[in-house]
Amino acid sequence: MAEDRRRLNRGADDAIGGGTPADRANPDRLVYADWSERLEMGLPLIDAQHKRFFELAASFQGNGDEVRVIKTLAILSDYIRSHLRDEEALMAAAHYPGLEAHRRQHAEFRSLLAALVGRARQMSLDAIADEVKFLVNGWFYRHIITVDFEYAPYLVPGHSGKPAAPKDKGT
Ligand SMILES: [Fe+2]
Ligand SMILES: [Fe+2]
């Protein structure tokens, strides 16, 4: 249900695994989150690209201009595709042993994204915004904190391979 998808579960730490077809059937399986510093891996190029996805995704909320939404979706799609290429090149250069499994997740993400781009003109703007949230704040967030962090120790000496603990927001 669209309303359910809008429900955010910020700061939860129980997200596991990558995107699966079951996520499509039941998006509520995913934890949804915005970008935060805990997602930084210590790789400036990759960190900046990840952050930019979330910024672009946020711009879909309440965006009532169809031309702008379609254009932003094309920008987001190009941006994500070049990120996936950059990340795969870095993993290959580091001889990361999990490269093939990681590539499969990227391939799945590319096809989810291509399906959205292909359908977008027949969708309402709210439905596009919901789908972008599912892809970036749900699917991609989980991808970063799980499989992206797994390659971090191969590229950043001394990296724990885990996202930073959420900061205590205090009062
Ligand atoms: Fe990745
Ligand atoms: Fe990534």
Q: Which domain holds residue 97?
A: 43-165
Task: Tell me how far CA of residue 13 lies from CA of 31, 75, 96, in angstroms.
Answer: 8, 30, 25
How does pLDDT run across 123-154, given as a tens digit for each residue?
999 999 999 999 999 999 999 999 999 999 99
Cα of 54 to ligand 2 centre, how many Å? 12
143 closest CA partner among 83, 93, 97: 83
The chain-wide mean pLDDT, for the chain, equals 84
Domain membership of residue 145 (yes or no) is: yes
Residue 10 or 57, more confident: 57
Task: Tell me how far CA of residue 29 lies from CA of 9, 34, 66, 106, 168, in angstroms.
Answer: 11, 17, 29, 20, 25
Domain membership of residue 25 (yes or no) is: no
Cα of 91 to ligand 1 centre, how many Å? 9
Ligand that lies nearest to the alpha carbon of residue 108, given by its number in the listed order? 1
Domain membership of residue 2 (yes or no) is: no
Total domains in the chain come to 1
Cα of 95 to ligand 1 centre, how many Å? 15
Mean pLDDT, residues 71-78: 94
Ligand that lies nearest to the alpha carbon of residue 43, given by its number in the listed order? 2
| Separation CA 104–CA 18 (nearest Å) | 10
CATH number at 117 reads 1.20.120.50
Cα of 105 to ligand 1 centre, how many Å? 7
